[in-house]
Structure 1
Amino acid sequence: MGPTLLSKARKMSKFTVPFIISGLQISTTKQVQQTHAIITKVGLYNHPFVLAKLITFLSLSPFGSLLYAQAIFNETLMGNPFLCNTMIRAYNKSVFPINAIYIYNHMHHMNVQLDNFTYNFVLKACARVLYCTKEDTRRIGFDIARKGAEVHCRVVKSGFDCDHFIQNSLVYMYSQCGFLAHARLVFDEMSEKTVTSWNIMILAYDRMNDFDAADLLLELMPGKNVISWNILIARYVRLNNIEVARSIFEEMPERDAVSWNSMIAGYVQIKDYAAALELYGEMQIAKVEATEITLISVLGACAETGALEMGRKIHESLKAKEYKVEGFLGNALVDMYAKCGNLNWAWEVFNELKMKPVSCWNAMIVGLAVHGYCAEALQLFSTMELSLDEVSPNRVTFIGVLIACSRKGLVEEGRSFFRRMIEVYHITPDIKHYGCMVDLFSRWGLLNEAHEVIKTMPLSSNSILWRNLLGACRTHGNVELAEASFQELSKLEPLTDGDYVLLSNIYADAERWDNVERVRNEMISAIVAKKPGSSNIEMKMIN
């Protein structure tokens, strides 16, 4: 909206403004704010058409703001079916699909008219809750499946059970929740099965590793499309059989962005980050438009390889397009910058995000802790607990917190956070949490306590814990515990050159030269060669 049109609109009546609004092509948040100011000034705050245009742009456009849309929606009577459906659809696509279910519950409670769009969007949201939630999926799966079944009952009662879009969403919802028999029953009762219907059911069998049933349906399917081929690629990517996935990819008669995304994600999954980045380059040469999922995978590869320059270019291109960076894409940028060591840019992205899932907080907390900003990491954890985003710390959060305590030497605080994780947040520690405690005690000379953690933890110890303790024994000159750690390490896996050299150095520091000679002879007898050191750097090519 230009300045002239804005000034004219301010002088017009509430009867004229809706016609002005209908002709606008809103494309930026600034234009939304200007339009919002006009409708407030002329008393059209509850005009359904005007609100619909604002909320639709804010919630569904990649250049909008779902948080802004929610704020406007909250100030309406929230009884307009179209507005409710728009918000449900938007949350279904976001990292907080559970909010779509809350709005659906509100509609039902307030007797707002439910239609086929409502049911379609909320069923998809039920399915996506499990995708976006990593913690306690068994409990959440049961609750969501029950909610999905409840929606199914209302679909039948409302007479929408023959809507093929809703039927597809039901198959998808039941399969995501693990109720494959229910999904198949809906599929078999469909009077008209589209290609999408077949693909959803085949994908459901694939997800449950029932490949025979999936392949049988694939043979019976009247006609395949690119999605059918993509399902096969996704299967072999999930099985870590990247060679077969790549051969299917090369043989495909047609590829779309999903085909490229699956292959790039597959390479990231098997930690072949160079291949992922190379394939992304081929995707650009093929002039296939990268999607948000593409960029999330590529940024993940950049994070693991330290390819800061490529990650920065992706971020700059998003800024140039005025693309809304939120959700998983925002998290990927924060994680990339944090892992590449550029915490200023990580902070910049983190602070610009309007809605932060727990994974985003984790990326920032862990990044700060790993790079030595321990006080800032712990302060951010405190902020997270008070956050309006209503996110709860999970096991990754506490790994970052314990790393911060270890690097800073906060032994008592580390003990306290470990107990708090168990008693307040009911998180059962895993091997990484015990590893953080071993590292905390080892770094600050409490070797006996570190040893006690390894011996008494309810999990089987691994080589990382014993190797950590062995390294600490050299720092703090504990020869006896070093010998015990070396022996335990030898029981778990073949000893490396570093293990022998470390024990030899511990003996040398204690001037026990006979033991030094013995360890070196054992190393020679075991034919363990000392590996040369190496490092990687990122080169910027100049034409």
Structure 2
Amino acid sequence: MPGATLSHIIPKLQRLSSMKELEQAQALVTKAGLYTHPCVLANLIAFSALSSFGSLAHAQAMFEETTEDNSFISNTMIRAYTNSILPIKAIYIYNDMQRVDCGSDHFTYNFVLKACARASRGVEEGGESDGYGVASKGAEVHGRVLKLGFERDGYIQNSLVYMYSQCGFVGLARRVFNEMTERSIASWNIMIMAYDKINDFESADGLLEMMPQKNVVSWNTLISRHIRLSKIEAARKVFREMPERDAVSWNSMIAGYVQLKDYAGALALFGEMQIAQVEATEVTLISVLGACAETGAFEMGRKIHESLKGNNYRIEGYLGNALVDMYAKCGNLSLAWEVFNELKMKPASCWNAMIMGLAVHGHCAEALKLFADMELRFDEIRPNRVTFIGVLIACSHQGLVEEARQYFKRMITEYKIMPDIKHYGCMVDLLSRGGLLYEACQMIKTMPLPPTAFLWRTLLGACRVQGNAELAEESFKQLAKLEAPTDGDYVLLSNIYAQSERWDNVEGVRNDMKRIGIPKKFGSSNTEIG
């Protein structure tokens, strides 16, 4: 193939704007016999991996067809995975580069250090990271950086500070920071955020005062601090007074409202962001879709989805998760399935959202079938504690007591996941629904965690259904040791006594309510108009 053909094709590859165009380009270069040309393949993979209109899964498929000694292509994939929901895979590719002695450069180390930082936060597949293992890998990379003479590279230095701070070694991060001959604004901001993360605000503020020049990131750090401390008004004050704002400023505030469960506030601020004509980022949309999920704002969520599809935007990772979760919580399981099936890369959180959505809305058999499918992909993905909550809810709604016992046991023995209070809550609810009140009571008493009022209240409610006044008395007493019973608890106990025709006890409960001053609330209902 003459060189002119290659020079004609490369500019076209650099102007790709959709996966459809990429697939057409693949067909063209394959027909021309240029598909394996390093420059051609690099352009195809770069678009697919890095463009918001590409597909990281498709890039991975192309990458697997290449030889392992192309450092540019490997760096492209490391960079893409570093910024994805699966940063741990960037580390795997880096390991392969070292194994085949591929020519690593300063780009490689900059990207892989960031991957170590993000993987240490537990954002990789499965949601449960070995932070110390990732930190060890980061220290190993640091050693290579020193050996190869990249220790004076400003970007790598910043990535080292970021990596050590995210892995919990703030002292090492500060040592690297102190050894820097030139510090950019980014260097100061990274170190300030490191101290903020461990709540060492004195050190953070000290650096902020010493900082020769501040930028929007500096003020965003203050916003994030206030939000983490649940001081939304203080965050709002900084937001209003900062000299300039970027998309991150808006994202931090919207995420703050979501974190504090003020979903209406989050959606209102999103409206302000649109009026201000600040372009929403993927992070913005993830927070907004979370607010839509919690408030049932299906139409807004659907419009966001339609807009993304209309612009051929790549829907993967956290954004895909947010859409699945939003549709599932809004009760539109058909659209949740549609998004779930279209996602090329599904982390545990995505499977969890779908399993939970199916379970909560009564599609229990489908939820358990999906869990079985997830287990078949054990080499790629691992169920976590959230997964088993969804599985146990499905069993509870279907009344599958024995199956739930087996899942509960397997969670501990096979997956080495120690149950938390939510898992025990699911089991107590399941056993109570199945009429196994004494087994539920025994589980509450013998579990290795302190019992909660919620568990005893669950059992109390089941005693009403089963007409067990004796166990109801015990449940009420145990509940009262943990918190003051509500009017509903008293009424429930009174009704159980009435059901058993123990009228003296009914009178006693009502007298206790009067003596303590607990009025019985009248029933009410809400109707949305318009």
The correspondence of residues 182-197 of structure 1 with structure 2, limited to 5 A, is 182-197=172-187
Q: How far is 1:529 from its partner?
A: 2.4
In structure 1, the residue matched to 2:9 is 21
In structure 2, the residue matched to 1:3 is none
The correspondence of residues 324-339 of structure 1 with structure 2, limited to 5 A, is 324-339=314-329
In structure 1, the residue matched to 2:306 is 316
Quick check: 2:122–2:131 contact (8 Å CA) kept in 1? Answer: no
Q: How far is 1:130 from its partner?
A: 2.0
Answering whether residue 168 of structure 2 is matched by residue 178 of structure 1, we say: yes
Q: For residue 121 of structure 2, give the secondary structure of its aligned residue in structure 1.
A: helix
Distance 1:67-1:539 versus aligned 2 partners, 3 A rule:
farther
The correspondence of residues 465-504 of structure 1 with structure 2, limited to 5 A, is 465-504=455-494
Distance 1:337-1:535 versus aligned 2 partners, 3 A rule:
farther
- For residues 230 and 317 of structure 2, the distance between their equivalents in structure 1, rounded to whole angstroms, comes to 27
Answering whether residue 269 of structure 2 is matched by residue 293 of structure 1, we say: no
The correspondence of residues 89-238 of structure 1 with structure 2, limited to 5 A, is 89-133=79-123, 140-238=130-228
TM-score normalised by length of structure 1: 0.94
* Cα offsets for 1:118-172 (capped at 9, x unmatched): 1100100000102343899997111111111111111111111111000000000
- For residues 11 and 4 of structure 2, the distance between their equivalents in structure 1, rounded to whole angstroms, comes to 12
The correspondence of residues 286-435 of structure 1 with structure 2, limited to 5 A, is 286-387=276-377, 390-435=380-425
RMSD of the alignment, in Å? 1.7
* Cα offsets for 1:246-285 (capped at 9, x unmatched): 1111111111111111111111111111111111111111
Q: For residue 161 of structure 2, give the secondary structure of its aligned residue in structure 1.
A: helix
* Cα offsets for 1:287-327 (capped at 9, x unmatched): 11111111111111111111111111111111111111110
Q: Select between 268-277 and 506-515 the one with higher mean Cα deviation.
A: 506-515
Q: How far is 1:483 from its partner?
A: 0.9
- For residues 134 and 103 of structure 1, the distance between their equivalents in structure 2, rounded to whole angstroms, comes to 14
In structure 1, the residue matched to 2:59 is 69
Q: How far is 1:485 from its partner?
A: 0.6
* Cα offsets for 1:313-346 (capped at 9, x unmatched): 1111111111111101110111111111111111
Answering whether residue 451 of structure 2 is matched by residue 440 of structure 1, we say: no
Distance 1:538-1:249 versus aligned 2 partners, 3 A rule:
farther
- For residues 511 and 335 of structure 1, the distance between their equivalents in structure 2, rounded to whole angstroms, comes to 47
- For residues 214 and 93 of structure 1, the distance between their equivalents in structure 2, rounded to whole angstroms, comes to 26
- For residues 278 and 32 of structure 1, the distance between their equivalents in structure 2, rounded to whole angstroms, comes to 38
Q: For residue 46 of structure 2, give the secondary structure of its aligned residue in structure 1.
A: helix
- For residues 56 and 73 of structure 1, the distance between their equivalents in structure 2, rounded to whole angstroms, comes to 10
Quick check: 1:17–1:39 contact (8 Å CA) kept in 2? Answer: no
In structure 2, the residue matched to 1:7 is none
- For residues 2 and 508 of structure 2, the distance between their equivalents in structure 1, rounded to whole angstroms, comes to 93
Q: Select between 192-201 and 525-534 the one with higher mean Cα deviation.
A: 525-534
Q: How far is 1:511 from its partner?
A: 2.1
The amino acid that maps onto 1:273 is Y
Match of residue 41, structure 1, among 26, 31, 39: 31
* Cα offsets for 1:448-488 (capped at 9, x unmatched): 10011001101110011001000100111111101111111
Quick check: 2:85–2:124 contact (8 Å CA) kept in 1? Answer: no
- Unaligned runs of 5+ residues in structure 2 are none
Q: How far is 1:212 from its partner?
A: 0.5
In structure 1, the residue matched to 2:508 is 518
The amino acid that maps onto 2:93 is I
- For residues 323 and 527 of structure 2, the distance between their equivalents in structure 1, rounded to whole angstroms, comes to 21
- For residues 105 and 289 of structure 2, the distance between their equivalents in structure 1, rounded to whole angstroms, comes to 39
In structure 2, the residue matched to 1:10 is none
Q: Select between 519-528 and 289-298 the one with higher mean Cα deviation.
A: 519-528
* Cα offsets for 1:33-78 (capped at 9, x unmatched): 1111122223222101110110010000111111110111101112
- For residues 496 and 125 of structure 1, the distance between their equivalents in structure 2, rounded to whole angstroms, comes to 49
The amino acid that maps onto 2:489 is D
- For residues 466 and 363 of structure 1, the distance between their equivalents in structure 2, rounded to whole angstroms, comes to 28
Q: Which of structures 1 and 2 has the larger relative contact order (alpha carbons within 8 angstroms, sep 6+)?
A: 2
Quick check: 1:306–1:538 contact (8 Å CA) kept in 2? Answer: no
- For residues 118 and 256 of structure 2, the distance between their equivalents in structure 1, rounded to whole angstroms, comes to 21
Q: For residue 203 of structure 2, give the secondary structure of its aligned residue in structure 1.
A: helix
Q: For residue 346 of structure 2, give the secondary structure of its aligned residue in structure 1.
A: coil
Quick check: 1:18–1:49 contact (8 Å CA) kept in 2? Answer: no
- For residues 138 and 60 of structure 1, the distance between their equivalents in structure 2, rounded to whole angstroms, comes to 26
- Unaligned runs of 5+ residues in structure 1 are 1-12
- For residues 85 and 155 of structure 1, the distance between their equivalents in structure 2, rounded to whole angstroms, comes to 16
TM-score normalised by length of structure 2: 0.97
Q: How far is 1:539 from its partner?
A: 6.2
Q: Select between 219-228 and 22-31 the one with higher mean Cα deviation.
A: 22-31
Q: How far is 1:537 from its partner?
A: 6.4
Answering whether residue 270 of structure 2 is matched by residue 280 of structure 1, we say: yes
- For residues 452 and 213 of structure 2, the distance between their equivalents in structure 1, rounded to whole angstroms, comes to 51
Q: For residue 160 of structure 2, give the secondary structure of its aligned residue in structure 1.
A: helix
